Amino acid sequence: MSGRARRADSAFSQLSVPVSGMPVPPFLPRTEAVREGVWSIAVPFPDNPLGYTLVYLIESDRGPVLVDAGWDDEDSWDALVAGFKTAGTDVSKCYGVLVTHVHPDHHGLSGRVRDASDAWVAMHERDAVTVGRLSRAMEHDDARNHRPAQTLPDFTDEMIAVLLDAGASEDELAAAPDPAVRRQARRFRPLAEPDRHLDDGARADVPGWDIDAIWTPGHTPGHLCFHVPQHRVLLSGDHVLASITPHISISRSDRAGDPLGDFLDSLRKVALLEADEVLPAHRHRFGDLAMRVEEITRHHHDHLAEIETILGAGPTSLWQVAARLRWNRPWEQFPLSLRRSAVNETAAHLRYLARRDRAVRLKGVRPFTFVSPTLHR
């Protein structure tokens, strides 16, 4: 794997948000054993440039345990069921589902797996509390025949709400073009409420294995990675990916939070783990965890420094900061959904700077406007 694992995917390396029009991976990786008793299954993630979610099947003494289940869609379900077969088992034998985080490309099929098998579903409590709200947002989105935000780790309406809260004006929202693609309505199945919560450092219930849950907040408030010391591998979910960086935004369930600060802390946390290989939920496996952590950390610090430079030139609104940042393509080419995503990510960076007295938000000014502390007297 190492040659492929080291591949630098430069076209995406500066991406913090998925970009529609990004080439869809040309193939679905086949189900394969990546370690003794650990299988990788690619579950299609339709209408999304990422193409698929990699879920992992671990052969336990009580039956297979999944790490993530994938997007809830008929083709995705078929691929998951076929993956169980290739691994020499059956979805009806599934003993449990460990969910890295609540996003529907990971947690979408957990409920269907549980229905087919009686498996338990476990996730961190900080994500569990958001299941109902996310589910309702998706249902609402479906009902209006809108594209659910399957390309994005948040939901369209929710994003608009967050943006308005964050100070984007109605004019700014209206001025941006509509997303070109709208997803067809589908029959909606609510996201599953988990049966169990997993805390930081908890031993996962995978009989015959020592697998530790590592709480890695940032991408979501309750994101978990799973460390398998006996194989020296880290199942990293969306926390650490080879060629892209996960979206970081202020969560509605933690409006006062500092998700970027949490994320950078969580990166430091996993860098200390003993792992020769990282098994992520998107793209491909890779070897050098510490180096990848350093790259992603540097990416965010570069972004932070760029924002400080922008604010050094004078008061700037959140939306304007996002528009002036260097992204992987010109801002004018971003569809609205991506602009929102980019603005959300910028808001998380501004929160980080404001918390550390590196940016000041002008009180009472709408849309939310920030300035360098050196200009603020």
Nearer to Zn ion, 111 or 153 (CB): 153
Strand order across the beta sheet in which 369-371 lies: 316-317, 369-371, 360-361
Nearer to Zn ion, 172 or 238 (CB): 238
Q: Shortest approach of Zn ion to residue 223 CB, angstroms?
A: 8
Closest CA to 270 of 309, 224, 304, 230: 224
Q: Shortest approach of Zn ion to residue 131 CB, angstroms?
A: 14
Nearer to Zn ion, 37 or 246 (CB): 246
Closest residue to Zn ion, Cβ-based? 103
Q: Shortest approach of Zn ion to residue 263 CB, angstroms?
A: 12
Q: Shortest approach of Zn ion to residue 104 CB, angstroms?
A: 9
Closest CA to 216 of 207, 227, 232, 208: 227
Q: Shortest approach of Zn ion to residue 241 CB, angstroms?
A: 9
As a whole number of angstroms, the distance between CA 258 and CA 158 comes to 18
As a whole number of angstroms, the distance between CA 307 and CA 174 comes to 25
Q: Shortest approach of Zn ion to residue 153 CB, angstroms?
A: 4
As a whole number of angstroms, the distance between CA 266 and CA 226 comes to 13
* Residues lying near Zn ion in the complex (CB under 5 A): 103, 105, 153, 238
Closest CA to 51 of 74, 32, 76: 76
Nearer to Zn ion, 18 or 111 (CB): 18
Nearer to Zn ion, 103 or 231 (CB): 103
Nearer to Zn ion, 212 or 238 (CB): 238
Task: Give alpha helix (H) positions in 30-179.
Answer: 74-86, 104-107, 110-117, 125-128, 131-143, 156-166, 170-175
As a whole number of angstroms, the distance between CA 104 and CA 135 comes to 9
E strand intervals along 309-367: 316-317, 360-361
- What tokens appear for 241 in the block? 């990916």
Nearer to Zn ion, 238 or 277 (CB): 238
Closest CA to 295 of 6, 4, 3: 6
Q: Shortest approach of Zn ion to residue 101 CB, angstroms?
A: 6
- With vertex at residue 45, the alpha carbon angle to CA 44 and CA 48, rounded to the nearest 5 degrees, is 135
CB 57 within 8 A of CB 68: no
CB 15 within 8 A of CB 245: yes
CB 22 within 8 A of CB 335: no
Q: Shortest approach of Zn ion to residue 34 CB, angstroms?
A: 18
Nearer to Zn ion, 79 or 310 (CB): 79
Q: Which helix (H) or strand (E) holds 318?
A: helix 318-324
Q: Shortest approach of Zn ion to residue 175 CB, angstroms?
A: 29
Nearer to Zn ion, 227 or 283 (CB): 283
